Amino acid sequence: MARRLVERGVRFVQIYSGGGNFTESWDAHFDLVENHGMHAGETDQPLASLLADLKSRGLLDSTLVIWHGEFGRMPISQRMNGRDHNPYGFTIWMAGGGVKGGAIVGSTDEFGYKAQESRKSVNDFHATVLHLLGLDHERLTYPHNGRQMRLTDVSGTVMREILA
């Protein structure tokens, strides 16, 4: 369905995975292995098929695909066998739409607790997505409380190392 929407010119398509409670969402505060295993099992093959389908029809080059969650997960147990939110290290992957295939930016420490190498901010990610959409994040402003604000606040640098 997502591919069909893209073919018909829909400019923004969101595919959402997860629901409102712990069992239905990726929010694995308990039973991380079963929770993430279930959700990865539900999404892995469909996402791979979407990418292959877009590519086979010549749409992947002009379609930016982004996969991410709200946070990473702490490397330690929160309670029982779950993990708390981790704002210091998380994974986002992108494909198509001007992104260089196979590019990797950054890494966490050996425990997966905190980004340590080539750290990027959320503002950097937003600046990059806006750039890939053809928008200059430094010029994209809106009035708020008497001053011009940017979506990336006063920071954010395009991650040129991932651009095709």
Whole-number Å distance between alpha carbons of 53 and 61: 12
- Cross-strand bridge partners of residue 108: 115
Question: Does this model's pTM top 0.75?
Answer: yes
DSSP 8-state code for residue 162: G
DSSP 8-state code for residue 163: B
Question: What is the number of other CB atoms lying within 10 angstroms of the CB of residue 104?
Answer: 9
Domain ranges across the chain: 2-119
Express each pLDDT in 27-56 by its tens digit.
888 888 888 898 899 999 999 999 999 999
Express each pLDDT in 51-105 by its tens digit.
999 999 999 999 999 998 878 888 888 777 888 888 898 889 999 999 999 999 9
Listing DSSP states for 54-123 in one string gives HHHTT-GGG--EEEE-S-EEEEEESSTT-EEEETTS--EEEESTTBPTT----EE-TTSSSEEES---HH
